[in-house]
Chains A and B, each alone.
Chain A
Amino acid sequence: MQIVLPPIPVMIALSGIYGLLLIGTGMICGLVYTKPETDYTELKDRIKSWWVIVTVFTLTLILNCTAAIVLFGLLSFLALKEYLSLIPTRQADRRVLLWAYLAIALQYAWILIGWYGMFLIFIPIYVFLFLPMRMVLIGETQGFLRAIGTLHWGLMLTVYNLSHLPYLLMLPLAGNPIAGGSGLLVYLVFLTEINDIAQYMTGKLLGRHKVVPTISPGKTLEGLGGGIVVTTLLAIALAPWLTPFSLIHSICLGLLLSLTGFIGDVTISALKRDLGIKDSGNLIPGHGGILDRIDSLTYTAPLFFHFTVYFYYQGQLL
């Protein structure tokens, strides 16, 4: 297997993320030391999981493009499996679900061979038309609309939207000569995750006014604002190092990522509230399930991707 190291700015950014992890771990150790009576198990689990996530992400970028695409495919698989295990499904649809899983392999195969047009339309058109047909062939009409609706929503969220992350790695170097596709990927994922953390922390410290009390009572206007400020400042600061974005565009992206990241988060919260569960799983200690961790990315990934392609890769892909 050929190992292609990512560009220098990406390596520096990754080291920076490890630096932040060290600071975070130090702060938690400090908390545990100064307040030994409080239980910090969840916080400790959470930071431990972050170490694992960042390391897997780093290895993915260091290995090579194919490994990265396969790993993101695996992430989609776990996310879709978690989704389908949470929602009510029909026994009659077992074979349809298997086809939905197969769609993951195909969607990531288009990325692997760089077939941009097919990557764009495969799930919204071909899978969208095929799955209901397969369901009709089985002949069970009771609950048909709900079954096909929930299945396609899950596929869009966990497969189509997430698959925009690895496609960033396939973008031609000419659009981003300083750091390439991996620079864009690190920029997007880092800003989305730091937005989650900044929102959570400012919300905990200053939170007064609830934004969406019926869906996620923990979300406050102050938290949202804190996320927007931190993310936009970082978006501006990091743009010259990792991306081709102009100042105006980096401001727009900072706002876009922080706002839509929030929307992705509360969308999954609404799903969980509807199903009457707290976490989508327990695969990631301290975070919950896969869906709990990737919720914001399901919104930010496609929006960031198409913003970038529109302004910087016009005419270079199709």
Chain B
Amino acid sequence: MKNLLQWLFFGLIVRVVVLLVIGLRIQGKQRLPKSGPVMIVANHNSHLDTLVLMSLFPLRMLNQLRPVAAEDYFLNQNPWLAWFALDMMNIIPIAREAGCDRQFLKRCGAALQNNQILILYPEGSRGEPECLTEFKTGIAHLAKHHPQVPIVPIFLQGLGKALPKGEALLVPFFCDVLIGEPLYWTGSKSGLMHLLTERFQALAASGNFPIWEA
């Protein structure tokens, strides 16, 4: 039942919204992983980000996709949202407070052990629309424990325009999905974070994106 609902939701509603209302311009589609374990790392500007990233994969891989999401936001606010996050989106809940690193590592590690595909937003929050903020280092901790797992950077542009934080109305815009070369644990946390930031800045600079004036 849970699977059927999830298939219907992604197969009918999400596809129509993503393909028709939004519309994606994908670059580097061949770099999209065919199977797990993988860490997808993306910038975060909108609730649409996760839906778009999940819709990049075929429906049969749906149960392998695990977005990592904030426990306080998705699980502790209202029961419907919690049901949606857990049963429809299949999230891995993590606490955002300090000192929860072990829980994060344990849950994400278990998913990677099961050959699942993690979706992580190292910015930590959606933040200001269409702005890239500094990455948090959780991803580096995870990469250190799983050095053989590829990290695929994906830069999303335009979704923050279509549905920014704090807005309920979706305004149609074409959105760009730029998929970068995979990278691996470099031997040091700061080295990996540096490399990752560089990759994102390069991806962001490779497109010619119109100005979005706040």
Contacts and interface: CB of A to CB of B under 8 A. Distances in A.
Interface of A: 77-78, 81-82, 84-92, 94-95, 97-98, 101, 142-143, 275-277, 281-283
A277 B209 CA distance: 10
Contacts of B171: 94-95, 97-98, 101
Given A86-B210, A92-B213, 13 more contacts: A77-B172, A78-B23, A82-B174, A85-B158, A85-B210, A88-B211, A88-B213, A90-B213, A91-B213, A94-B169, A95-B171, A101-B172, A143-B213
A144 to B, nearest CB: 12
A315 to B, nearest CB: 40
Nearest to B174: A85
Report the 3 A-B pairs with minimum CB-CB distance, sorted nearest first: A88-B211, A85-B174, A90-B213
B108 to A, nearest CB: 34
A85 B211 contact: no
Contact of B174 (A88, A91, A275, A281): A281
Which of B129, B164, B167, B210 is most buried by chain A, counting CB atoms within 10 A of its CB? B210
Given A89-B212, A91-B129, A275-B210, A81 B25 contact: no
Contacts of A101: 171-172
The secondary structure that dominates the A interface is: helix
A149 to B, nearest CB: 15
B208 A281 contact: no
A184 to B, nearest CB: 29
B173 interface: yes
Contacts of A88: 210-213
**SS of B interface (majority):** loop
Contacts of B23: 78, 81, 283
B187 to A, nearest CB: 38
Contacts of B175: 85
A78 B174 CA distance: 9
Contact of B214 (A77, A91, A276, A277): A91
B161 interface: yes
Nearest to B172: A81
Nearest to A90: B213
Contacts of B211: 88
Contacts of B213: 88-92, 142-143
A45 to B, nearest CB: 16
Contacts of B129: 91
A8 to B, nearest CB: 35
Contacts of A90: 212-213
Contacts of A142: 213
Given A281-B25, A282-B25, A98 B210 contact: no
Give the most central of B158, B161, B174, B211: most A CB within 10 Å: B174
A97 B158 CA distance: 15
Interface in B146-190: 158, 161, 164, 167, 169, 171-175
A85 B167 CA distance: 19
A276 B23 CA distance: 21
A145 to B, nearest CB: 14
Contacts of A85: 158, 173-175, 210
A82 B173 CA distance: 7
Nearest to A96: B171
B173 A81 contact: yes
A276 B25 contact: no
A277 B172 CA distance: 21
A87 B172 contact: no
19 contacts: A77-B172, A81-B23, A84-B173, A85-B174, A86-B210, A88-B211, A89-B161, A89-B210, A89-B213, A90-B212, A91-B161, A94-B161, A94-B167, A94-B169, A97-B171, A98-B169, A98-B171, A143-B213, A275-B210
Interface string B200-214: 000000001011111
Contacts of A276: 208
B174 A81 contact: yes
A80 B164 CA distance: 20
B21 to A, nearest CB: 9
Contacts of A77: 172
Interface in B22-53: 23, 25
B166 to A, nearest CB: 11
Contacts of B25: 281-283
A101 B169 CA distance: 13
Contacts of B167: 94
Contacts of A89: 161, 210, 212-213
Contacts of B158: 85
